[in-house]
Chains A and B, each alone.
Chain A
Amino acid sequence: MNVPLRHQTAAQQLTIVDCDIHPAYRAPADLHPFLPARWREHMTTFGEHLRQGLSGQLAWPRMMAAGMRLDAYPEQGPPGSDLALMRRQHLDANGVEYGMLMQLSRGGMEERNLDFAAALSRAVNDWQIAAFVEPEPRLRAGIVVPQEDAAFAVTEIERRADDPRFSQILISPRSSDPLGHRRYWPIYEAAQRANRPIALHVQGFSGGHASTASGWPTYYMQEHYAAATGMQTTLTSLVLEGVFERFPGLKVALIEGGFTWAPALCWRMDKHWERMRAETPQLKRPPSDYVREHCWFTTQPVEEPDDPQHLAEVIAWIGWDRVMFSTDYPHWDFDHPQHVFKFQPTEEQKRKVFRDNAKALYGLP
């Protein structure tokens, strides 16, 4: 499927794939048509049952406008809920050829009641298609599944596997066990069978464990950073538990968790694995090999060294074929495609990061 671009200006010679766009409901009732009556009532009567003390809000309030771009608020509803505004403000204006939807809230990933989680998962997947992908074919959905119920997750992945409008499978890196744990393996097996990458996007709600190894942070500044440390331990678990040895066709996209830490983490894993291989015989090769083969990283929020060339060096260490541009639209820390890199990438590097890597990973035409 090749979608002609609208309103393309001369300045935008390169069309892009945006690997992180957040749709939103205009109101929670938007999900009602996709929920059985029993769960509609449950949602109204009891609501979500999360692992935190505050109901219906984030425990670390965001810095401005609930963490949204001020100019992304439509006349009605929250940012991300108005497709016309999203088209005008982002898809058209920034030459987005494909936008990968990251539906985070009310998809069941953090819900404690697993039956409700399953109902939410189905509903959210139907809703993404109806509200966004059907009217706007540049957008691609993700199959949102509750990782804590692997059996249901497998049925939902299989249910959507033949629908090319779903490009990947979303589970939460804030899981109840590290994601390399074998209780999650059926999900990876299903992902491999369905030929879809697993997308791990940082989460605002916990799976029951503090965001640091020494408990809960005080400030949003710390919680924001914990997305990067949590992504590192999640990747470590996937690699050292031997998930990629077990599922050689599995691909993982790490989204909004930072990426400049990846080389140092690989060096650290390799160095200490060398001494500790007897504990992890499931690995046949150095840990960094699996990361290089199986993992992709999105750019936003891009790190900004004083010397921009340092960022170029680190991307080269990761591999120019493994980094994918993302904006995080409509969130407050949106990265703009024309200003994201303060150094001058080559034309080939630009093509890869802004478009070709994502097209290859997701099999986009």
Chain B
Amino acid sequence: MKVPYPGAIDCDLHPAMPGMAALLPHLDDYWRDQITNRHIDKSSFILTSYPPNSPLSARPDWRQASGAPGGDLDMIRRQALDPFGTRLAICNVLHGAVALFNADMAAALCAAVNDWTAAELLDREPRLRASILLPMHDPALAVAEIERKAGDRRFVQVLLLAMGEMLLGRRIYWPIYAAAEKHDLAIGIHAGSSYQHAPTPSGWPAHRLEDYIAQSTAFESQLLSFLAEGVFQKFPKLKLVLIESGFSWLPTLLWRTNKTWRGVRPEVPWIERPPAEILRERVRLTLQPVDAPRGEAQLLTRTLAHIGSDRMLLFATDYPHWQFDGEDVLPDGLSDEAVRALMIDNPLETYPRLQEAAGMSDNANATMALSGRVF
């Protein structure tokens, strides 16, 4: 179904990543020389996880004759913001820099992507917010990037990939979470892989479709890692957002961790209450893709009942990825309360920096709502 009223907060929107020509002005002399002299600027930096012509990567009616889907701001306004009456949208600009092995080069390019995002997206469209793309090779470099960008309150979270070099709950990464918590930034984990390990515990699948299906298992592994390592206890304000993860797999994880925990508590004594309680409080998941059969609203309704909380889902179009058709971004079977929660209340509760935007401009919000198209 369509969104019933304007004002939604879209928690996963993908402007096309900038080409290297657009990033060069944001690099210092050393890296500009490196990138051009080594012809690195002739590389595409496309992530293997999102081949541009694959059906999953862009909806057919969101493609255009020339240029990448989501590649210009007018198109984003026309296709992703206006049709859904979106009040705020969080841009997740994925860039292949995170899959490099050279930590310094990756950090320089991530910084350039973040600066480009501020200059070309946030400065030009007041409805947009963004994630800070982090290089995870060296926690010190990741912390430095957080400190460099945190002053810009339009960045509301940090952005990591679901499949990386190490499980994200590991203590080596904790300085990153300390910095994020200090600055009221959520930890966003987005589908995708740097392919430093096989996507499955039995090796490398043949098809891209298998890789994509396996993303949900990678999110499961990350949740177990955050939980077992004690990240939620160490950083009591930290919110974890799983982006483009699907969510129908979640009930099994809640049930299984609750049960297993009863047997393994002595191994992880810092987990002092049933894991499902902790996860329901601290973990959020973006709406799209809705991995449930269309036309069988009952299955989705029951899955939400199994999840046992209206607080966990965040509205998201996943634009321009092909997850739904037309303007039917909401699955059938959601209650009015659940719709309101996921469109507005849950995103505001998850991202403290969005609350600032809401608080600062109540008038602007009211105006925006009134001027929104009639639904």
Contact = CB atoms under 8 A, between A and B. Distances in A.
Interface of A: 63, 173-181, 206-222, 224-226, 228-230, 232-234, 236-237, 240-241, 258, 260-261, 263-265, 267-273, 275-276, 278-280, 301, 303-306, 310-311, 313-314, 317, 332-333
Given A220-B267, A276-B207, 8 more contacts: A206-B201, A209-B201, A237-B202, A240-B205, A264-B303, A272-B56, A272-B291, A332-B263
The CB with the most chain A CB atoms within 10 A, among B199, B210, B249, B259, is that of B210
B228 interface: yes
A264 B203 contact: no
Interface in B246-274: 246, 248-249, 251-261, 263-264, 266-268
B289 interface: yes
A215 B167 contact: yes
Interface in B210-238: 210, 212-214, 216-218, 220-222, 224-225, 227-229
B164 interface: yes
A296 to B, nearest CB: 18
The CB with the most chain B CB atoms within 10 A, among A212, A263, A317, A333, is that of A212
B248 A217 contact: no
B224 A230 contact: no
Interface of B: 54-56, 162-170, 193, 196-210, 212-214, 216-218, 220-222, 224-225, 227-229, 246, 248-249, 251-261, 263-264, 266-268, 276, 289-293, 299, 302-303, 305-306, 308, 322
A221 B293 contact: no
Given A217-B221, A306-B308, A233 B200 contact: yes
Nearest to B218: A213
B54 to A, nearest CB: 7
Contacts of A180: 205-206
A229 B258 contact: no
Nearest to B213: A236
Given A303-B256, A333-B263, A240 B163 contact: no
B200 A237 contact: yes
Given A221-B260, A221-B264, A273-B209, A213 B163 contact: yes
Contacts of A268: 213, 216, 246, 248-249, 289, 291
Given A221-B267, A236-B214, A258 B204 contact: no
A234 B165 contact: no
Contact of A178 (B163, B203, B227): B203
Given A179-B202, A272-B289, A221 B261 contact: yes
Q: Which 7 A-B pairs have the closest CB atoms?
A: A233-B200, A212-B221, A229-B217, A264-B248, A268-B291, A213-B163, A303-B255
Contacts of B292: 267, 271
Nearest to B211: A213
A89 B214 CA distance: 40
A270 B293 contact: yes
Contact of A272 (B209, B256, B303): B209
21 contacts: A175-B202, A177-B202, A210-B201, A212-B221, A214-B225, A219-B268, A221-B261, A221-B264, A225-B260, A228-B252, A233-B199, A260-B256, A265-B216, A271-B289, A271-B293, A272-B209, A275-B56, A276-B55, A276-B207, A276-B208, A310-B251
A207 to B, nearest CB: 6
A213 B208 contact: no
Given A180-B206, A213-B199, A268-B248, A229 B220 contact: yes
A99 to B, nearest CB: 24
B251 to A, nearest CB: 7
Contacts of B213: 233, 236, 240, 265, 268-269, 272
A216 B306 CA distance: 29
Given A233-B217, A310-B305, A279 B252 contact: no
Contacts of B267: 63, 219-221
Contacts of A178: 200, 202-206, 210
Nearest to B215: A213
Contacts of B266: 63
B1 to A, nearest CB: 17
Nearest to B257: A225
A207 B199 contact: no
Contacts of B198: 209-210, 213
Contacts of B217: 212-213, 229-230, 232-233
Contacts of B197: 209-210, 212-215
A183 to B, nearest CB: 11
A119 B205 CA distance: 30
Contacts of A208: 203
Contacts of B201: 174, 206, 209-212, 226, 229-230, 233
B320 to A, nearest CB: 13
A241 B212 CA distance: 14
Contacts of B263: 63, 332-333
B228 A217 contact: yes
A317 B228 contact: no
B207 A240 contact: yes
Nearest to A227: B201
A225 B202 contact: no
Nearest to B54: A276
A233 B214 contact: yes
B159 to A, nearest CB: 16
A189 to B, nearest CB: 19
B324 to A, nearest CB: 10
B291 A267 contact: yes
The CB with the most chain B CB atoms within 10 A, among A217, A229, A241, is that of A229
A279 B206 CA distance: 10
Contacts of A206: 201
B292 to A, nearest CB: 5
A222 B224 contact: yes
B10 to A, nearest CB: 20
A314 B303 CA distance: 9
Contacts of B206: 178, 180-181, 241
B105 to A, nearest CB: 22
A237 B328 CA distance: 31
B210 A236 contact: yes
B255 A304 contact: yes
Contacts of B276: 306
Contact of A237 (B164, B205, B253, B260): B205
A275 to B, nearest CB: 4
